[in-house]
Amino acid sequence: MKFRTGKKTYLRPGCVNKSYRWANEISVIKEPKKKDRLAGWFLLFAVIVTFPVTSYPQIKARTDSSQVFTLDQCIRYALQHQPRLNQSIVNTAITKATNAINLSGWLPQLDLAGSMVHYTQLLTTLVPNPVPGGAPIPTHTGVANTAIPQLTASQTIFEPQLYYAAASAPLLTKESEQVTDSEKIFVVSTVSKSFYNLLLTLEEINVLKEDTARLARTIVDTHSQFVGGIVDETDYQQAVITLNNSKAQLRQEVENVVPEYAALKQLMGFPPEKNFHVTFDTAQMMREIYSDTTKPLVYENRIEYQQLQTERQLQHQQTVASELAYLPTVSVFYDYYYEYESPAASTLFKGAYPYSYFGLSFNFPIFTGLSRIESVQRSQLEEENVNWEEMNLKSQIYSEYTSALASYKSNLYNLRLLNDNKDRAQSVYRVVSLQYNQGIVAYLNLIVAESNLISAEIGYIDALFQLLSSKIDLEKARGEIPVRY
């Protein structure tokens, strides 16, 4: 693979059930001068064997209405359309609404009630007899018809559960937002790695197409040498075998492109029935392969560690609320009644007798079966459990960091070596190809040089994108992936 610094390359559109075209189309072999009947048959055969490759549709840079995405644009699209991330954002809104519901108990509560009663038989009350020693006198009290609208207002002064709701509300919101940030980090890392995997396949296709075209030209040269008596028929057979192997490998990579585009679409939340291209700046990519490996690991930068600290604060508030359960619930109230009374229903609302009162109420649970004591002890044990979880999380983060750092360093070293191998393999192939055309070396030497060149080029491409992926893992392990796009 040869990078062209500062230029952007458009790659295969991510399409489903739609024809596409490959870039860098392999030219059809030009017919050599016919030396005999065998040469004619060979030319026909050469065109046939190369046709499946040349007939692959080409990529055309923006020949349709498909969108073109860079890596940064893919990430931004995913942050707006990825279903799981949007669900997390909705859950944050739900958490805020739930907090508002839980805190509504601190506000004044107003209730309006009423009743209408018709007594078919009035209440009886025993009135003391004014005659000394006389029996009490039964007397009917009240009126047959009453209507009483009632307005009640109350205000809670203190209630343990309301205190916990007020103390935990900002922490619950923070916890929900941290879940959203965690989803964003997941989206950024997975979309980036999927994008690099797709580019790896597409660049390998370009290398294999160049190899297939080069081998197709070699067949023509080998046939010409065979006709001229320079080489025997085995060289020609070896050339055909090598071309077939290259075509098979190319076809395999071609088939892998569609599912890799589908995987990227899924991570982005992109509609599967629509198409898009991917593009990248090779110069920018080469500048982004480096990372400062001397940076210390800061646990507080990891979103998982931040979530654990929020969990600890929430658990501490639960302990405080359990301890406050020993205090009474206190509230004030005010009731207003506008009572209508009348012996006859037709005159019920002609006269009213209002009255009102206010007061202070409290509820002090003296004994609850030791439930409050056990609640405090349970909450304290759960706080202790969070401390152990923190120790385990630090160990896990450190293990991920060291593994990601080692992978990045080894991939960077590997890239440098394979880049050197690629340059050397290209130089060797040029020399061996000239020697073979002049009849100095056997065709086996050319096959070996060709195989080494392909291995070196594909190895270099693979190392490059492995390095970029390992850099993503390293940034994630250090908590450096940005969530505020």
> Do 83 and 269 form a contact (C-beta atoms < 8 A)?
yes
Cα distances (angstroms) measured from residue 215 to each of 226, 239, 293 = 16, 7, 43
Cα distances (angstroms) measured from residue 300 to each of 121, 297, 330, 423 = 77, 9, 41, 44
CA angle 266, 484, 400 (to 5 degrees): 70
Q: Of all residues in the chain, what percent are helix, strand and coil, respectively (each to 5)?
A: 60, 15, 25
For residue 386, the 8-state DSSP code is H
Mean pLDDT check: name the lowest of 6-10, 87-91, 176-180, 274-278: 6-10
Within 8 A by CB and 6+ apart from 237, the residues are: none
276 or 34, higher pLDDT: 276
- Centroid of chain to Cα 159: 40
| pLDDT at residue 225 is higher than 70 | no
Query: In the predicted model, what is the mean pLDDT of residues 180-194?
Result: 95
Per-residue buried b or exposed e for 204-228, using 16+ beta carbons within 10 Å of the residue's own CB: bbbbbbbbbbbbbbbbbbbbbbbbe
| pLDDT at residue 183 is higher than 80 | yes
Q: Which of 2, 1, 5 is nearest to 284 (CA)?
A: 5
Average pLDDT, the chain: 83
> Do 467 and 289 form a contact (C-beta atoms < 8 A)?
yes
| pLDDT at residue 24 is higher than 50 | no
pLDDT at residue number 120: 87
Q: What phi and psi, each to the nearest 5 degrees, are found at residue 321? A: -65, -35
Q: In which band, very low, low, confident or very high, does the pLDDT at 485 lie, cut at 50, 70 and 90?
A: low
Mean pLDDT check: name the lowest of 22-31, 123-132, 405-414: 22-31
pLDDT at residue number 421: 95
Where residue 370 falls (left for φ over 0; alpha for ψ -120 to 50; beta otherwise) is: left
For 317, the token pair is: 């508030």
SS (H, E, C) 329-384: EEEEEEEEEEEEEECCHHHHHHCEEEEEEEEEEEECCCCCCCHHHHHHHHHHHHHH
Query: In the predicted model, what is the mean pLDDT of residues 451-472?
Result: 93
| pLDDT at residue 18 is higher than 60 | no
The share of the chain scoring above pLDDT 90, in percent, equals: 57
| pLDDT at residue 474 is higher than 90 | yes
Q: Which of 279, 267, 265 is nearest to 191 (CA)?
A: 267
Q: Which of 162, 159, 104, 155 is nearest to 333 (CA)?
A: 155
pLDDT at residue number 484: 65
Instruction: Name the amino acid, one letter, at 275.
Output: N
| pLDDT at residue 142 is higher than 50 | yes
pLDDT at residue number 482: 82
Instruction: Name the amino acid, one letter, at 384.
Output: E
Mean pLDDT check: name the lowest of 51-55, 76-80, 325-329: 51-55
For 160, the token pair is: 């343990």
Q: In which band, very low, low, confident or very high, does the pLDDT at 241 lie, cut at 50, 70 and 90?
A: confident
Q: What is the pLDDT of residues 285-314, one digit of tens each?
A: 888 899 999 999 999 999 999 999 999 999
| pLDDT at residue 41 is higher than 80 | no
Q: What is the pLDDT of residues 153-162, one digit of tens each?
A: 999 999 988 9
pLDDT at residue number 65: 54
pLDDT at residue number 30: 34
> Do 20 and 12 form a contact (C-beta atoms < 8 A)?
yes
pLDDT at residue number 140: 80
Query: In the predicted model, what is the mean pLDDT of residues 356-366?
Result: 91
Mean pLDDT check: name the lowest of 16-20, 50-54, 184-188, 321-325: 16-20
8 or 244, higher pLDDT: 244
| pLDDT at residue 61 is higher than 90 | no
pLDDT at residue number 230: 65
Residue with tokens 């679409």: 265
Burial of 157 (0-12, 13-18, 19+ CB in 10 A): middle
| pLDDT at residue 53 is higher than 90 | no
Query: In the predicted model, what is the mean pLDDT of residues 450-465?
Result: 92
| pLDDT at residue 74 is higher than 80 | yes
Q: In which band, very low, low, confident or very high, does the pLDDT at 37 lie, cut at 50, 70 and 90?
A: very low
Q: What is the pLDDT of residues 407-441, one digit of tens each?
A: 999 999 999 999 999 999 999 999 998 888 777 88
pLDDT at residue number 430: 93
SS (H, E, C) 289-335: CCCCCCCCCCHHHCHHHHHHHHHHHHHHHHHHHHHHCCCCEEEEEEE
> Do 282 and 212 form a contact (C-beta atoms < 8 A)?
no
For residue 479, the 8-state DSSP code is T
Residue with tokens 């003391």: 128
pLDDT at residue number 239: 80
| pLDDT at residue 256 is higher than 50 | yes
- For residues 128 and 122, give the distance between their C-alpha atoms in angstroms, rounded to a whole number: 19
Adjacent-strand bridge partners of 126: 138
List the domains of the chain with CATH numbers: 8-98+165-315+373-477 (1.20.1600.10), 108-158+329-363 (2.20.200)
Q: Which of 327, 66, 79 is nearest to 189 (CA)?
A: 79
| pLDDT at residue 48 is higher than 50 | no
347 or 303, higher pLDDT: 303
What pTM did the predictor assign? 0.78
Query: In the predicted model, what is the mean pLDDT of residues 119-145?
Result: 84
